[in-house]
């Protein structure tokens, strides 16, 4: 099946007074129609910057896309004008964020904020847009839609606000929904409801989802395909079943070991030793070498490339390069 989105060798950097932060460095990833792809990693791994690069939000955040391409259907998003990108953002690609409150205007009623994009992008009149807004709010599982539409954001719970954001995001029938940590700020029960909602909306519409998360529980629930990011690079990617059953990269193995499981005491929980490296102090080594129990001499001097490992995975680790050499 032809890919909906193809990210090819994307490099997004931020120049600071202290030096250049290579927030996303040579990332390639594909999303097929109807597929849910999760990017997982610790904070600072580059997963949100990858999403922002797709949305064309890098310059306003002070960064620059230095290289690569982001092909959405037949268009390279990095080559579009501001207006063309704005049209795609409203119609074909939508995004929801961790903190719905930061995306909503606190002094405008919910209805105004849902109605306005419907009038702008779908060219609906005010009355028709209000009717459609009520339908959308019902579709995301809010039963008192007629009352909620006249409420202000501060009158709603975090879970309700995230549902409103999802209603706004799906209002134009996007082909791709990017969800950046959409459940992180919510309590566990509401998290599960929002994930259920995303899954059922995807089932109804056939849209693809790019889900950014640090939570492997969310990955297990949602993903068809997973990319594990570390210090701006993809270190492992593959089908979700393969990654969970047989992780290859030592970082992925560490993440899976540190995932809480039922009946496990908190103090038995594994945590990967050490810290993510300072992005201003990256060298030519494997970026994970300081934290890796299997580190070899070559890992300290040379960076491994992402290579096929097994049937459906790729990993960037000298263990597999070495394996190939002596096979």
| Site of interaction with ligand SF4 (CB under 6 A) | 249-250, 286, 288-289, 292, 294-296, 299, 304, 317-319
* Rounded to 5°, angle at Cα 163 from 160 and 165: 115
Cα dihedral 191→27→253→31 (10° resolution): 50
Task: Fill in the DSSP letter of residue 79.
Answer: G
**Cα 141 to Cα 45, 68, 137, 148, 180, distances in angstroms:** 33, 39, 7, 12, 20
Residue 214: strand, helix, or coil: coil
**Cα 169 to Cα 89, 157, 172, distances in angstroms:** 10, 18, 7
Shortest distance in whole angstroms from residue 303 CB to ligand SF4: 8
Shortest distance in whole angstroms from residue 285 CB to ligand SF4: 8
Shortest distance in whole angstroms from residue 275 CB to ligand SF4: 15
Shortest distance in whole angstroms from residue 233 CB to ligand SF4: 11
Give the bridge partners for 13, in sequence order. 22, 64
What is the spatial distance between Cα 64 and Cα 236, in angstroms, rounded to a whole number? 25
Shortest distance in whole angstroms from residue 253 CB to ligand SF4: 9
Closer CB to ligand SF4, 80 or 276, in the complex = 276
Residue 5: strand, helix, or coil: strand
Closer CB to ligand SF4, 121 or 291, in the complex = 291
Closer CB to ligand SF4, 97 or 320, in the complex = 320
Closer CB to ligand SF4, 177 or 292, in the complex = 292
Closer CB to ligand SF4, 68 or 247, in the complex = 247
Closer CB to ligand SF4, 13 or 288, in the complex = 288
What is the spatial distance between Cα 248 and Cα 310, in angstroms, rounded to a whole number? 9
For 41, counting Cβ atoms within 10 Å of its Cβ (0-12 exposed, 13-18 middle, 19+ buried), the class is: buried
Closer CB to ligand SF4, 185 or 319, in the complex = 319
Shortest distance in whole angstroms from residue 317 CB to ligand SF4: 3
User: 54-80 burial, b for 16+ CB within 10 Å, e for fewer?
Assistant: bbbbbeeeebebeebebbbeeeebbeb
For 214, counting Cβ atoms within 10 Å of its Cβ (0-12 exposed, 13-18 middle, 19+ buried), the class is: middle
Terminal alpha carbon distance of the chain: 33
* Rounded to 5°, angle at Cα 237 from 322 and 85: 135
Shortest distance in whole angstroms from residue 327 CB to ligand SF4: 17
Closer CB to ligand SF4, 95 or 306, in the complex = 306
Shortest distance in whole angstroms from residue 196 CB to ligand SF4: 35
Shortest distance in whole angstroms from residue 6 CB to ligand SF4: 26
Closer CB to ligand SF4, 157 or 294, in the complex = 294
Tokens of 304: 């491994």
Q: By the 8 A CB rule, do 166 and 94 touch?
A: no
């Amino acid at each position: 099946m032809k890919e909906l989105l193809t990210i090819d060798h994307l490099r997004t950097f931020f120049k600071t007074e202290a030096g250049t932060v290579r927030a996303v460095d040579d990332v390639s990833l594909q999303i097929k129609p109807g597929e849910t792809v999760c990017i997982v990693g610790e904070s600072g791994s580059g997963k949100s910057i990858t999403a922002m690069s797709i949305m064309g939000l890098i310059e306003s955040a002070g960064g620059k896309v230095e290289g690569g391409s982001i092909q959405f259907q037949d268009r390279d998003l990095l080559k579009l004008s501001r207006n063309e990108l704005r049209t795609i953002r409203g119609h074909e690609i939508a995004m929801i964020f961790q903190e719905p409150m930061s995306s909503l205007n606190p002094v405008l009623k919910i209805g105004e904020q849902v109605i306005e994009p419907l009038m702008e992008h779908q060219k609906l009149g005010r009355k028709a847009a209000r009717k459609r807004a009520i339908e959308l709010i019902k579709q995301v599982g809010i039963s008192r839609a007629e009352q909620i539409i006249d409420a202000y954001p501060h009158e709603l719970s975090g879970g309700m606000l995230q549902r409103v954001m999802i209603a706004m995001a799906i209002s134009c029938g996007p082909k791709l929904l990017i969800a950046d940590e959409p459940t992180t700020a919510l309590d566990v029960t509401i998290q599960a409801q929002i994930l259920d909602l995303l899954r059922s909306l995807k089932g109804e519409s056939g849209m693809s989802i790019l889900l950014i998360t640090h939570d492997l529980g969310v990955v297990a629930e949602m993903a068809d395909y997973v990319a594990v990011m570390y210090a701006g690079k993809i270190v492992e990617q593959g089908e979700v079943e393969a990654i969970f059953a047989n992780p290859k990269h030592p970082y992925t193995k560490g993440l899976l070991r540190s995932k809480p499981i039922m009946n496990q005491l908190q103090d038995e929980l594994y945590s990967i030793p050490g810290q993510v490296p300072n992005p201003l102090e990256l060298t030519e080594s494997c970026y994970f070498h300081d934290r890796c129990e299997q580190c070899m001499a070559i890992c300290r001097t040379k960076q491994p490339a992402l290579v096929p490992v097994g049937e459906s995975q790729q990993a960037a680790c000298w263990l597999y390069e070495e394996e190939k050499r002596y096979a």
